[in-house]
Each structure stands twice: as C-alpha cells, then as structure tokens.
Amino acid sequence: MIGSKKFTRKVEDFICEHCKAEVKGNGYTNHCPKCLWSKHVDMNPGDRAEQCGGLMKPIKVVKEGKDYIVEQVCEKCKIHRRKRLVKEDDFGVAAEIQRKSL
C-alpha cells in the first residue's frame, strides 16, 4: 500500500554514485557509510518503488536522544528524508556536514 510505513528488508550491495565507494548492504543499509549520500529509490523503506532516482545529498546532522540523524534532500525532486546513522557510518563526515549546516 503506497503511503504506509511498511518496511521491506532488501539485502543489496551497491557502488555509491556520489563517492564510488563499494558498499556491502545488510538489508537495512539506506545510504553510503563513507559520504552519507543515498539514492531516491524508495517510496516506503526498502520497496524500490520510487521512479525519481535522484541522488540524496546530506544537508544536516542532528542529535535526537542517543541517535544521530542525517537529513537529506533529493537533488532531482527536492524531497527531504531523514535517516538514522549507524556505527558503520563515517562520523567525521557527519561532523563536517553538521558544522557546515550551522
């Protein structure tokens, strides 16, 4: 159902279209851990139903409770999405994004 929060786990490896890093997916991977960019491919997490396909630029990092969240904007359609950072992500890159957004 379009518009639902239903999650579809999909294990996929990919090459980041922004920094060209080889990324090993685990079924929950939704952005490149090296540069924090992603691709606008989901309507609902993991469904790969979005036709846009634009690159999602990280524009802001915020701390919410114990989590760090990266906010991204699609360079093609301008939609904003938020994604939780995980231990595999480059927190040096996250700190630089946070610094630039202030």
Residues 8-23 have pLDDT tens digits of 788 899 999 999 999 9
Residue 7's pLDDT band (cuts 50, 70, 90): confident
In a domain, residue 19? The reply is yes
In a domain, residue 91? The reply is yes
In a domain, residue 3? The reply is no
Residue 5 pLDDT? 63
In a domain, residue 4? The reply is no
Q: Residue 34: which domain range?
A: 14-101
Q: Give per-residue pLDDT as tens, 52-77.
A: 999 999 999 999 999 999 999 999 99
Helix (H, G, I), strand (E, B) or coil at 9: coil
Q: Say if pTM beats, i.e. exceeds, 0.75.
A: yes
Residue 11 pLDDT? 87
In a domain, residue 84? The reply is yes
In a domain, residue 49? The reply is yes
Domain tally, the chain: 1
In a domain, residue 68? The reply is yes
Mean of per-residue pLDDT scores for the chain: 91
Give the list of residues 6+ apart from residue 21 with CB closer than 8 angstroms, or none. 15, 32, 33, 34, 35
* Mean pLDDT in residue range 35-40: 97
CB 9 within 8 A of CB 3: no
Has residue 102 got a pLDDT over 60?
A: yes
